[in-house]
Amino acid sequence: MSEIIVIGGGAAGMMAAIAASERGHHVVLLEKNEKLGKKLFITGKGRCNVTNAADMETLFAHVCTNVKFLYSAFYGFDNRAVMELVEQAGCPLKVERGERVFPISDHSSDVIAALTRILKKNGVEVRLQTEVKELLREETQETDGAKSYVQWHIRGVRLVDGHSFSADAVIVCTGGLSYASTGSTGDGLKFAEETGHRVTECRPSLVPMETAQDWCRELMGLSLKNVELRMVCGGKEYYREQGEMLFTHFGVSGPLALTASCYLGNTQKKANKGKANQAGQTESVYLYIDLKPALSEEQLDKRILRDFDEQKNKQFKNALGGLFPAKLIPVMVRLSGIDGDKKVNEITKEERKSFVQLIKNLPLTVTGTRPFAEAIITQGGVSVKDINPSTMESKRVKGLYFAGEVLDLDAHTGGFNLQIAWSTGHLAGESV
């Protein structure tokens, strides 16, 4: 029986502790908060979208960063395994639209309670209000045939109060940087750097985006259903999806905008590759909203002609009720450059054509994202290049493992991020 320390009592940490204890190890779970699963509690608007019930191909398709790294973790402990574990622990689940899995009770606290019951049953020693300050490691001289080399081994952890715990293996499950109020303050990223691991640039993701156009503020609160959002930079398209989005006082939010934000970092990186040192040469990222994705430009033009025909003597600004929600009309009139007081039968073919273009490509310039405090996940983290994908063990320090959002892994909304935490946590726990 080995002595295992898991740092962080979130989704990944609880799952790692469960898997390690099931292999007969003595596991100590250290959590700095006064309770386990503080972030889990607020997931899915308090209902906890535990995972996604789709097939494996779909799970992989929804991972944004380092999908190949997840093959062993996902196949080893998939969405079915998570659902079985949670249900067997007394929390029945249901599958909703988009294959999203929730507890039948709609209470995230029931998922936390179920996991807590397993921890207790398995004899995991949970220590709350226990904050780890640093990892303890030791260097040894090893030989491989004629070759001699230095190998680091994990020895334990030191807490902020000065106490130390020794261990044969340590699993770091401290989360990312988003919603720091839940305890994810990036401690694991610091531990990783201090022990010689690479950490990729971290940015807020699944996060609302800020835009240059101030007309968004005018549309604040307006939600658009069945629209298409495209992300374009340097003339190249990086994202295109249909769904629902929302205007806010700073720009755009809602499901489409949140998902698009996952592609922002990569878009900027790819579009500006090789331009880093040429001041002022960075490409802007644009969003284009297609307000009528079901209609081709031709079909839309015909539809507008028909609308105008039926309302010949109406002013342009009063003839758009069939096309847009009321709040959007003054903005569309202004952006079209057509005089709102003009009678529709006086609108020229060119004016109509450029209006069609505007409806199909309503442009926004992205100026940034909202901060980590508003981001569902952190993009970036401990580089997967320094982690063995078959075990989650560090390639630099023996006996040290990483799992969950602390790693450079992220996915779309829909239960996929928690699946990453469950799968990587489980793999780390069963590998120690």
* CB-based contact 429:19 (threshold 8 Å): yes
110 CB-near residues (< 8 Å, 6+ apart): 91, 103
The correct pick among 377, 387, 392, 432 for binding ligand FAD (CB under 6 A) is 377
- Using CB under 6 A as the binding rule, whether residue 7 contacts ligand FAD is answered as yes
Cross-strand partners of 101: 51, 95
417: helix, strand or coil = helix
- Using CB under 6 A as the binding rule, whether residue 59 contacts ligand FAD is answered as no
In angstroms, the CA 228 to CA 409 distance is 26
- Using CB under 6 A as the binding rule, whether residue 33 contacts ligand FAD is answered as yes
- Using CB under 6 A as the binding rule, whether residue 32 contacts ligand FAD is answered as yes
DSSP 316-347: GGGS-TTTS-GGGHHHHHHHHTS-TTSBGGG-
Among candidate residues 287, 260, 341, the one with its CA nearest the CA of residue 64: 260
- Using CB under 6 A as the binding rule, whether residue 43 contacts ligand FAD is answered as yes
- Of 132 and 199, CB closest to ligand FAD: 132
Backbone angles phi, psi at 388, to 5 degrees: -80, 115
Which of these segments, 169-177, 252-260, 289-297, 304-312, binds ligand FAD (CB under 6 A)? 169-177
Cβ of residue 127: shortest distance to ligand FAD, in angstroms?
Answer: 9
- Using CB under 6 A as the binding rule, whether residue 8 contacts ligand FAD is answered as yes
Which of these segments, 119-127, 303-311, 393-401, 414-422, binds ligand FAD (CB under 6 A)? 414-422
In angstroms, the CA 405 to CA 182 distance is 13
Cβ of residue 109: shortest distance to ligand FAD, in angstroms?
Answer: 14
- Using CB under 6 A as the binding rule, whether residue 9 contacts ligand FAD is answered as yes
Find the Cα–Cα–Cα–Cα dihedral 96, 100, 101, 106, rounded to 10°.
-60
Based on the number of CB atoms within 10 Å of its own CB, is 201 exposed (0-12), middle (13-18) or buried (19 or more)? Answer: exposed
- Using CB under 6 A as the binding rule, whether residue 379 contacts ligand FAD is answered as no
- Using CB under 6 A as the binding rule, whether residue 83 contacts ligand FAD is answered as no
Structure letter (DSSP) for residue 404: G
- Using CB under 6 A as the binding rule, whether residue 404 contacts ligand FAD is answered as yes
Among candidate residues 205, 208, 214, 175, the one with its CA nearest the CA of residue 191: 175
Length of the chain in terms of residues written:
432
Count of residues near ligand FAD by CB under 6 A: 39
Which of these segments, 68-76, 286-294, 340-348, 412-420, binds ligand FAD (CB under 6 A)? 412-420
21: helix, strand or coil = helix
Which of these segments, 167-175, 278-286, 300-308, 379-387, binds ligand FAD (CB under 6 A)? 167-175
Cβ of residue 12: shortest distance to ligand FAD, in angstroms?
Answer: 3
CA 400 to chain centre: 25
Which of these segments, 27-35, 71-79, 287-295, 362-370, binds ligand FAD (CB under 6 A)? 27-35
CA 337 to chain centre: 38
- Using CB under 6 A as the binding rule, whether residue 116 contacts ligand FAD is answered as no
* CB-based contact 407:65 (threshold 8 Å): no
- Using CB under 6 A as the binding rule, whether residue 381 contacts ligand FAD is answered as no
Q: Which helix (H) or strand (E) holds 288?
A: strand 285-290
114 CB-near residues (< 8 Å, 6+ apart): 86, 89, 90, 91
Cβ of residue 44: shortest distance to ligand FAD, in angstroms?
Answer: 3
The correct pick among 10, 103, 254, 265 for binding ligand FAD (CB under 6 A) is 10
Which of these segments, 117-125, 341-349, 355-363, 410-418, binds ligand FAD (CB under 6 A)? 410-418
What residues from 172 to 211 belong to the interface with ligand FAD (CB under 6 A)?
A: 173-175, 178-179, 182-184, 187
Q: Which two tokens stand for residue 321?
A: 């009720």
Cβ of residue 37: shortest distance to ligand FAD, in angstroms?
Answer: 7
The correct pick among 5, 44, 222, 291 for binding ligand FAD (CB under 6 A) is 44
Q: Which residues bind ligand FAD (CB under 6 A)?
A: 7-13, 30-33, 38-40, 42-44, 48-49, 131-132, 173-175, 178-179, 182-184, 187, 376-377, 404-405, 415-418, 421
